[in-house]
Amino acid sequence: MKVTSEIAAIRQQVREWRAAGKTVAFVPTMGNLHKGHISLVTESLKHADHVVASIFVNPMQFAAHEDLDTYPKTLSADLEQLSAAGTELVFTPTSEQMYPNGAENHTKVTVPEDAIGLCGESSSRPGFFTGVATIVLKLFNIVQPDIACFGRKDYQQLIIIKTMVDELALPIRIIGVDTYREQSGLAMSSRNNYLSKDEREQAAEIKQILDASIARVQAGEAHKAVLDDAIKSMAKAGFNTDYIIIRNANTMQPVTPSDDELVILVAAFLGTTRLIDNQYFTV
């Protein structure tokens, strides 16, 4: 596996693969990898001949109250996992390379959130999705993959990226990969490392609350009543809920009577750790 921080080296290797008639998949990450990230590499290998990954902690998607400096960095362990999974090329740029004039002065890519029905997370983390869209587009321009895999755990992020790719006519197929869960049902996340053992057990209740809510919606109960009860259940379990919503799974717009593919999304604090999860379902 080759590891480089040089944009020119990434482009040269991809050119060589393309000249040989091979296809390229891309998995962008912020490092501190877990099995969920590795599942993206595994899925990528089903669709392309070669896999490129990136490790870059993107300062543009951190809010003022979030400490970029404390984000866990585990590069050696990350590279071992990526290599074992079959990744052939890893891009590890610096902030100076990606934002030579500083993130605050960099050209930004904004996907209009209102147009795709985003709420909750976007209001509590202003600028987050602009930071995501900007860095993903820049990485796409550097790597120029045929496909890119993203986890469905960050569902709103997935919709943002799909929308950007569609509206900017990028020749990249975006593949959403199912959320990888711990045995307890807790969605795997780098943020889980901030949880104590007891909190990790508590956090597993999110999945149970989502499943119970889905069952009630599928049984015909009104969404508002279901969501009101879900918020109460979250509070009883020790969470401070940021939002819990049900949306059209494809557009993220509010649900209409004709919609049959839905997603329930939640963001909540357990102590100081903000956790997100979601479940796709049909009615």
Catalytic residues: 37
Q: In DSSP terms, which residues pair with 261 in a beta bridge?
A: 282
- Measured CA to CA, the distance from residue 260 to residue 246 in angstroms comes to 12
Give the Cα separation of 210 and 264 in Å (integer): 7
d(CA 67, CA 145): 31
